[in-house]
Amino acid sequence: MKKHQLAALPQIETLLQDPGVEKYIENLGRPVVAELARSVVDGVRRSVLKGDSEVPPFSEVLERLLAECGVIGKEKLQKVINATGIIIHTNMGRAPILREVWREAEEINCSYSNLEFDLKTGKRGKRKGLIPLLVSRLVGSEDALIVNNNAAAVFLILQTFARDREVIVNRGEQVQIGGGFRIPEILQQSGARLVEIGTTNISTREDYLSAFSDETAMILSVHRSNFAIRGFTDSPTVRELARIRPDTVLLCVDQGSGVIDEALPGEISVRTHLHDGADLVCFSGDKVLGGPQAGIIVGRKVLIAKLERHPLMRVFRPGKAVYSLLEAGLVRRLNGQNSMVAETLVLSMRELKSRGRKILQGIDRSKASVVESTLTSGGGSAPDESFPSLSVQINIGRKADTILRALRNADPPIIGIISEDRVQLNLATIQPEDIPRIRAELQNLLGG
């Protein structure tokens, strides 16, 4: 029997005192790490009892625990370096919030605030601050309303104005956005009845005209955020739809991307949709606008007021973090600050080359070099467009997958892409303050 050996098993407490483990305690919480330690030691105990192995040395048990902590640690939210060349990356938190905006919002979030307190009357106030005013100035609307995300915005609009009634949607716009937001399903969930018109590639004014009935509540026009239809294709514009719809039919546009004034081919701005006659337009706050996760609904005052009074508003309303970040970002935007997408798109080749030079300092150019590549806006905008850019390409013999993984294991993780079997790190989407980290990691990987 191996039982006498079990006395040599490390104590949980001793493992937890190791400096490497202590770092994980700080990062993951003591009970989580303690549980991992117990499960590692239990595993060792079982295999000793079965006679599969001797009790391993302390260092080996510690190694196993650190590895387990490392695996869990990867699931924790953390900063990553986006070197993919996709500016608004849906899997990487979409738009980074401007650091100045974050700092401005800190005081409001870490203190009490007037979120729902009217400083003029000393009574309960409305949870919206200056946002309706600021958004309206930015996009040229009568009023605005904020919900948790754009999916909620679409749902609230449908619930409020189209429940038990008909909503006309072009077949070419019955899209799925990201993981599971499908227009026909959202419509069904909201209690509205979908009336499909046209075909995938072509829809006409006549298609819409013949679909109007007493039951029609609205036309919903949905932006093709993540795909493009090319070739033999046509559909009426929002302006045309505004002209042909009966007065009783609302024209709502799920614009999605939140393009305001960015030069993105194929994107129609929120302002243009309103100007062209849309009654309501909704879009995400954390795509091209560059704010926190939110859904923004803009349009006619009477309609916004009705949305505000819907009981579901209580379900969809964001908290102070969203309001404060959005407000601070909007003020800056109105004062001339460009969105991150706009700023990234206008980076000059010279700036990108300079970033590349800094990253490759001290690295043998046969192992990595700056190459031409492309940049996309992402985040449900300009799905069919790419812009010229530069990337650092790694040219060593090791498999691209292996290099990509090594970079992903860096701290912070560096997320690149593989292009023609070579790992590339796009120089436009990285943030300049990360250049030293990237250089250090490449030096580590490639040697001098």
Ligand X SMILES: *Cc1c(COP(=O)(O)O)cnc(C)c1O
The residues of the shown chain that bind ligand X, judged by CB under 6 A, are 149-151, 177, 181, 222-223, 225, 254, 256-257, 284, 295, 380
**In the complex with ligand X, which residue's Cβ is closer, 169 or 435?**
169
User: Which residue's C-beta sits nearest to ligand X?
Assistant: 256
How far is the C-alpha of 38 from the C-alpha of 61, rounded, in Å?
Answer: 11
In the numeric block, the tokens 């070197």 are attached to 83
**In the complex with ligand X, which residue's Cβ is closer, 377 or 424?**
377
Number of neighbours of residue 131 by Cβ within 10 angstroms? 20
In the numeric block, the tokens 């305690």 are attached to 25
Residues 6+ positions from 348 with CB-CB distance below 8 Å: none
Shortest CB 210 distance to ligand X, Å: 26
**In the complex with ligand X, which residue's Cβ is closer, 198 or 258?**
258
**In the complex with ligand X, which residue's Cβ is closer, 268 or 392?**
268
Residues 6+ positions from 71 with CB-CB distance below 8 Å: none
Tokens of 336: 């001339």
Shortest CB 46 distance to ligand X, Å: 46
Shortest CB 151 distance to ligand X, Å: 3
Nearest to 411 by CA among 89, 48, 27, 2: 27
**In the complex with ligand X, which residue's Cβ is closer, 203 or 373?**
203
- By DSSP bridging, strand 81-82 and strand 166-170 are unpaired
How far is the C-alpha of 378 from the C-alpha of 291, rounded, in Å?
Answer: 15
3-state secondary structure of 367: coil
Shortest CB 176 distance to ligand X, Å: 10
**In the complex with ligand X, which residue's Cβ is closer, 173 or 327?**
173
CA 86, chain centre distance (Å):
11
Shortest CB 180 distance to ligand X, Å: 10
How far is the C-alpha of 407 from the C-alpha of 416, rounded, in Å?
Answer: 8
How far is the C-alpha of 315 from the C-alpha of 421, rounded, in Å?
Answer: 47
Bridge partner residues of 252 (DSSP): 220, 280
Shortest CB 177 distance to ligand X, Å: 4
Question: With the C-alpha atoms ordered 303, 309, 314, 319, is the resulting torsion angle positive or negative?
Answer: positive
Amino acid code (one letter) for 104: E
**In the complex with ligand X, which residue's Cβ is closer, 29 or 227?**
227
Shortest CB 322 distance to ligand X, Å: 12
- 160 and 311 Cβ atoms separated by less than 8 Å: no
Shortest CB 76 distance to ligand X, Å: 23
Tell whether omega for the bond before 31 is within 30 degrees of 0, i.e. cis: no
Number of neighbours of residue 171 by Cβ within 10 angstroms? 15
Nearest to 227 by CA among 197, 247, 252, 200: 200
**In the complex with ligand X, which residue's Cβ is closer, 295 or 299?**
295
H helices present in 74-211, as ranges: 99-110, 131-139, 150-162, 183-189, 205-211
Shortest CB 172 distance to ligand X, Å: 13
Tokens of 344: 């990234």
**In the complex with ligand X, which residue's Cβ is closer, 102 or 181?**
181
- 285 and 293 Cβ atoms separated by less than 8 Å: yes
**In the complex with ligand X, which residue's Cβ is closer, 150 or 324?**
150
**In the complex with ligand X, which residue's Cβ is closer, 284 or 389?**
284
- By DSSP bridging, strand 280-284 and strand 417-419 are unpaired
Shortest CB 307 distance to ligand X, Å: 16
Question: CA-based diameter of the chain, in Å?
Answer: 88
Shortest CB 95 distance to ligand X, Å: 11
